[in-house]
Amino acid sequence: MNSQIQLINVSQQFSDQGATVHLFSNLNLVIQQGRSYAITGPSGSGKSSLLMIMAGLEQPHAGRLSYFTSNTIAPLDSLRRSTGFVFQQFHLLPELSALHNVALPLKLRGDKYAEEKAEVWLAKVGLANRMNHKPTTLSGGEQQRVALARALVFEPKYIFADEPTGNLDANSAHDVADLLFSCCEEQNAALVVVTHCQKLARRAQRVFNLEFGHCGVQRDDARRGALC
């Protein structure tokens, strides 16, 4: 049985120059492995913060996050080990080649086949001939492909992507979106994308709109059996 993430009465806030800013309150959401989701909404509404909470990387001010596998609650550390993250700014290490950037998460886990697996994933994202290039010699689209390969190399159950096409031209954005959806479908992974791009959001099976502290379902295409 596929796993799922549940957010129960989750609220988030932060302090800004002594004032308390409330991002959202009492959100109840379920993210199921194998499905695709988009989170839309205006700047400053808390989309990125919500994404971090879903991934178990940020604590909510109130409420709780639960991770279920085989109908039992699993530790959040287990969720973090099952999560890949794709950032708008790529966050590649400039001193490392594409190959070593992708292999690094596996090496940190002690995987002795890290580089071989990194080679496979770089080939999957179309960078077989750019493996030994450092980020500064790669285009923005190529850097995002490296970041995508790095997120997917350990075959996580969940991929969280924060504006993954925001810094790319139209052609590169389309290619990266295709890769995100197709790779997640291949791996039976959940895909959760924060985006301002309505064209990208429409590719998801379910669209949440976060605005005025609340998260409403903008669209739920339950009839679709594939991620794209």
pLDDT band at 226, cuts 50/70/90? very low
List CB contacts of 108: < 8 A, sequence separation 6 or more: none
C-beta separation of 207 from 200 below 8 A: no
Q: Where are the alpha helices (DSSP H) in 55-169?
A: 76-81, 98-108, 114-124, 140-152
C-beta separation of 63 from 11 below 8 A: yes
C-alpha 191/C-alpha 181 separation (Å) is 7
pLDDT in tens, 152-211: 998 899 999 999 988 888 888 899 899 999 989 999 999 999 999 999 999 999 999 998
pLDDT in tens, 160-177: 999 998 888 888 889 989
Collapsing DSSP to helix, strand or coil, 161 comes out as strand
C-alpha 31/C-alpha 21 separation (Å) is 26
Of the listed ranges 62-66, 67-71, 122-126, 129-133, the least confidently predicted one is 67-71
**223, pLDDT greater than 60:** no
**130, pLDDT greater than 80:** yes
C-alpha 107/C-alpha 90 separation (Å) is 19
Residue type, 195: T
Burial of 102-127, coded b for 16+ CB within 10 Å and e otherwise, reads bbbbbeeeebeebbebbbebbebbeb
List CB contacts of 35: < 8 A, sequence separation 6 or more: 190, 191, 205, 206, 227
C-beta separation of 45 from 57 below 8 A: no
